[in-house]
A and B are shown apart, each in its own frame.
Chain A
Amino acid sequence: MKTIEDLKRLREQVQTQTRVRQESSKQIIVGMGTCGIAAGAREVMSAILDEIAKRRLEDVMVRQIGCIGVCEKEVLIDVVLPGQPRITYGRVTATDIPKIIVEHVIQGHIVKELVVGKITE
């Protein structure tokens, strides 16, 4: 049985291994309006969190946003790597997530066939 005490112990362990991070954090943003949720955004979110845990990615932040108006292309996820344009992927399913995480988030190569938009900031 996991308890809050376990989390406190975990914190101590993690802190001793902690390297400097956060500042150069990568971001994944999942569209979670009614349209996104109905299209399976929660399953996509779960798949992302599973990959982060499995591949032990220490520098990825996961956020969610509401509807951005292209509901027909849900589930939408955005990947933002520091210093690079924001890439929007559309019609994403949980099975696409390992590919996006490995190729884009880890290796930095955009998964072109799933891209629906790009925002240069």
Chain B
Amino acid sequence: MRELSLHILDLVQNAIEAGANKVLLDIVEDMSEMDTLLIRVIDNGQGMDDDTCQKVIDPFVTSRTTRRVGLGLPLIDMSTKRCAGYLTIVSTPGSGAVVEALYKHSHWDRPPLGNIVETVKSIIIAHPELNFSYSHTVEKNVFSMVTQELTEILGNISLTQPDVLIWLHEYLTQNVMNLYNSRNLYGGVQDENN
């Protein structure tokens, strides 16, 4: 995967498949002091025991029953390691999991964050019942939002109502652009396959 935001989508999908109804996504970009990019996903799903936490970064371990190979976490693990970072998974059975992927921000091999707006939009729209919170820090700029805030305002109006979709797209785009002081540091490919 060429963009970190695609890995993020994958991590959130993992959380949902672990039965979570609450997912917190934090992205912290520190370009000056620590030179790090941290992605943290916290969920309240079924969790895993220590042994499983160790094993999930092995591609031949997966919870799915459709086939025996699971590549999501191993791919992230690999990309963090080649960027002087790490992937950690902390979890206890029954009380969710905390997954952290850390990259050296300025590393040559660090994939761009990519289109985080489309990632967050996909999560919010496809899981309106999920208590999803997104918080993104770039140096001193912070943007955060929670799905519930939107669904409470909207009441019985769906998030896929055309005007709401347009609002959500612009709201996320403008706020993410502001994080980077409207410079396009955001990078990434338009199309994963071309």
Contact = CB atoms under 8 A, between A and B. Distances in A.
Interface in B1-17: 1, 6, 9-10, 13, 16-17
Interface stretch (B47-55, B83-91, B161-169): B161-169
B70 interface: yes
Nearest to A54: B162
Interface string B55-78: 000000000101100111001000
A7 B162 CA distance: 12
Given A49-B169, A63-B126, 9 more contacts: A4-B149, A13-B163, A37-B10, A45-B122, A49-B165, A52-B160, A60-B160, A62-B160, A67-B66
Contacts of A3: 171
Nearest to B189: A43
Interface string A9-28: 01101110010001000000
A6 B167 contact: yes
7 contacts: A2-B171, A37-B1, A46-B122, A53-B169, A66-B13, A68-B66, A69-B64
Contacts of A8: 153
Interface of B: 1, 6, 9-10, 13, 16-17, 64, 66-67, 70-72, 75, 115, 118-119, 121-122, 125-127, 149-150, 153-158, 160-167, 169-171, 174, 191-193
Contacts of A93: 193
B160 A7 contact: no
Interface string A43-73: 1011001001111111011111011110100
A55 B160 CA distance: 12
Interface residues of A, number: 47
